[in-house]
Amino acid sequence: MVSQEDPGGTELLLEPSEHPAVKPYKDALVKDGIPATSFQVQGLNAAFARLRERGVVFTLEPMDAGPVRMAVLDDTCGNLIQLIEMKRAK
């Protein structure tokens, strides 16, 4: 998976989940609400709206969390993915 805005940029490659330890690990992370990875975005509210419009299910809608705003989505492969936007210093 790569960004449409930067096809030569960072790429996410998830390894197959065939090892017997993977499913219990992933299930435990999801049960506890722990994201498998996190991506920084510019404009969290806009990203949230765009993804939700495309059918992405969020387990946590955008919220303030200290120096960031964050949201968490279900990637449909057994992982939670966190999106964060850095707040500007006042």
Domains contained in the chain, CATH given? 35-86 (3.10.180.10)
> Are the CB atoms for 71 and 81 separated by under 8 Å?
no
> 27: Cβ–Cβ under 8 A, 6 or more apart, which residues?
78
pLDDT for res 34: 94
Distance, in Å, from the CA atom of 46 to the CA atom of 37, rounded to the nearest integer, reads 20
Instruction: Out of 10-14, 15-19, 81-85, give the one with best mean pLDDT.
Output: 81-85
Neighbours of 60 (CB within 10 A): 15
pLDDT for res 55: 96
Which helix (H) or strand (E) segment is 23 a member of? Answer: helix 22-31
Give the tens place of pLDDT for each residue, 32-86: 999 999 999 999 999 999 999 999 999 999 999 999 999 999 998 889 999 999 9
